[in-house]
Copies of this chain bind each other. A is one copy, B any other.
Amino acid sequence: MTVTREKTMYLAARWFPGHLTEMDRAECVELLGRSEVGRVALGDPEGPLVLPVNHVMVGEKIVFRTAPRTAIADHVGSGQVSYQVDEFDSYTSSGWSVLARGTAEFVDGVWLTEHDLKPESWADGTRTLFVCLTPTQITGRRVVPV
């Protein structure tokens, strides 16, 4: 693959020319709650695994599904887990990114019911496990257009 002139111009002109500003925790949590898709990141000897999932928030906790015997399921309880959401507008070269870091554990039907989550009639029956990430750190930054 060769790099075209157009690509080179893009590299020169559009590589996040804006200014980065930090967001506070409340704004980060709000953006997590408004996002439909995020990315679970797990440590792995071959490099971090980054896997998109859907999530819901319970306060600052992030809840998502996975299937038994997947990388996510195998990792739960054995180390740190991160969760990332972002949104970008390529026209204005602006956007934001939020990263929550903490530990994850499985939650069961009792916990889901207690928190008013009643998942039923899944279209796909394989992702039967529910994981809850409790963040110890939530950080975020915004790229403001110049």
Q: In the assembly, how many copies of this chain are there?
A: 2
Chain B residues lying within 8 Å of A80, measured Cβ to Cβ, are: 44-48
Q: Which of A6-62 contact B (CB under 8 A)?
A: 7-8, 10-19, 29, 33, 36-37, 39, 41-54, 56-60
Pick from B10, B17, B122, B136: contact of A122, CB below 8 A. B17
The answer to whether A74 has its CB under 8 Å from any CB of chain B is no
Expressed in whole angstroms, the Cα–Cα distance for A16 and B49 within the complex equals 19
Closest to A63 in B: B11
Chain B residues lying within 8 Å of A97, measured Cβ to Cβ, are: 50-52
Chain A residues within CB distance 8 Å of chain B:
1-3, 7-8, 10-19, 29, 33, 36-37, 39, 41-54, 56-60, 64-65, 80-82, 84, 86, 88, 90, 95, 97, 99, 101-102, 115-124, 127, 136-137, 146
Would you call A88 and B12 a contact (CB within 8 A)? no
Would you call B15 and A84 a contact (CB within 8 A)? no
Would you call A86 and B52 a contact (CB within 8 A)? yes
Give, as a whole number of angstroms, the nearest-CB distance from A46 to chain B.
Answer: 5
Expressed in whole angstroms, the Cα–Cα distance for A17 and B119 within the complex equals 12
Closest to A51 in B: B97
